[in-house]
Structure 1
Amino acid sequence: MKFIETKLAGVVIIEPKVFADDRGWFMESFNEPLFHQQLAEFGHPIPRPFVQDNHSCSKKHVLRGLHFQRDPHAQGKLVRVTAGSAYDVAVDIRKGSETFGQWLGVELSAKNGRMLWIPEGFAHGFLALEDNTEFLYKTTDIYSKACEQSINWNDPAIGIQWPVTEGLIISQKDEEAPLLSQVVSSVSVLTGNVTSSELQVIGDDRGSLIALEQGRDIPFDVRRAYYIFNTKAGISRGSHAHFRLEQYIICLSGKCRILIDDGVTQESIWLDAPNKAIHIKKLIWREMHDFSEDCVLLVFASNHYDEGDYLRNYDDFMRAVKRYA
């Protein structure tokens, strides 16, 4: 496979190698280790696992889009055409991105076998160029009606140069979709921030209790939990950021200082009571200092351990903030 970077950071064209003879042809359409390796070499985040496949068939001049899903079900898409041909479009809707509002168009067809990787933070649409155009795509999250949103295919501020503009077949929903300027305030994909909170203590003369509920207190699906203890005096921990992982941290015993850095400002937050918690979203540099001898930190994480999601070098973190935040 050949991987080609585009002008939109994160969007990648993939050209498979086709082996053909008088019997027909064969090609490898997806190879996860190679896919991850190439994205990492380009300096792009490793996506979450693909969890859903979609397959559509469209008449000539059917236009679908521009579609995206908001958090917590934002989707990355690996798209290809298995019959016919389509003009496929990605639009950068990442707030703060150097290419915000810019678009990329690529012709995908059964003949050229090209695929397009469109990460979270982009709106997507396509125009069928032939009858019976079959479009197949893998997504990193399931479809969520509550999170789906559209941007008008003909938004003049974006200025997509579709190959055809007359006689298009467009759903009423897509035709009436709002402009990018009207939906941008709801777009939050790779924007990091930190939220502090005080947990409700339930207690009487026997003692105290704190209850944590997923979806209420912990604002994401928990896929991993761990705790840090017996940290030696003078030792600091952390010194990394994550492309996508979110964490919810509570100090069950003792205290420590959490240094938070979003690439613009730094702040120190003391966790020194079991009813204090912080929610650290993606693309936030964090360091943990000044551990007391009895400190126990409990961490809930939004995903399983994945070394590819880590940014362990501060310069790499700053480059990621400028590119993706």
Structure 2
Amino acid sequence: MKTTISEVLILEIPKVSDPRGNLAVIEKETIPFSFKRVYYLYDVPSDAYRGGHAHIQQQEFLVALSGSFDVILDDGNERIQITLNKPDKGLLIPVGIWRELDGFSSGSVCLVLASEEYDENDYIRDYSNFKLFKRS
């Protein structure tokens, strides 16, 4: 799997602003895949850690709906950290990228749009197996 960190993108989410507040819209043109599952993380303790896996087939789009959190991304050669803290920006994570989420602020909510329905066989949960997967 040759996916690299350079394929991870922060995408703008279209928004409409007026005196009553902002409205952000995610439609099929917003992200480059059709999503089959939507879930969100909330009430995550500030010292908790989420993620710790990569996907073989599933792409994901993460949005900080409220608060902030850090996403550590790893392609097997390069590791970066991105802080998500704006509800009009989302992080596109392609297949074959290891991700870890931590540093959740109080009241943060992480929305995830996933390209696939849940399938445990799509997860690589052991980092050494991830490294082997990246070499294949």
TM tier relative to shorter chain: over 0.9
Percent identity of paired positions between Structure 1 and Structure 2: 37
Bigger Rg over Cα: 1
- Provide the residue aligned with 1:304 in structure 2: 117
- Provide the residue aligned with 1:261 in structure 2: 74
Q: Per the alignment, in what secondary structure is the counterpart of residue 220 of structure 1?
A: coil
- How does the TM-score come out when normalised to structure 1? 0.40
- Structure 2 spans left out of the alignment, 5+ residues: none
The CA distance in 2 between the partners of 1:251 and 1:233, in whole Å, is 15
The CA distance in 1 between the partners of 2:84 and 2:31, in whole Å, is 17
CA shift for structure 1 position 253:
0.2
For the Cα contact (< 8 Å) 2:46–2:102, is it kept in 1?
no
Q: Are 2:34 and 1:202 equivalent residues in the alignment?
A: no
- Structure 1 spans left out of the alignment, 5+ residues: 1-93, 97-190
Code of the aligned partner of 1:304: E
Report 1 or 2 for greater relative contact order, CA contacts < 8 Å, sequence distance ≥ 6: 2
Q: Per the alignment, in what secondary structure is the counterpart of residue 248 of structure 1?
A: strand
CA shift for structure 1 position 295:
0.5
Say what the alpha-carbon RMSD is for the aligned residues. 1.2
CA shift for structure 1 position 297:
0.6
Q: Are 2:43 and 1:234 equivalent residues in the alignment?
A: no
Map 1:1-325 onto structure 2 (within 5 A).
191-192=3-4, 193-214=7-28, 216-323=29-136
Give the number of equivalent residue pairs.
Answer: 134
The CA distance in 2 between the partners of 1:264 and 1:322, in whole Å, is 11
- How does the TM-score come out when normalised to structure 2? 0.94
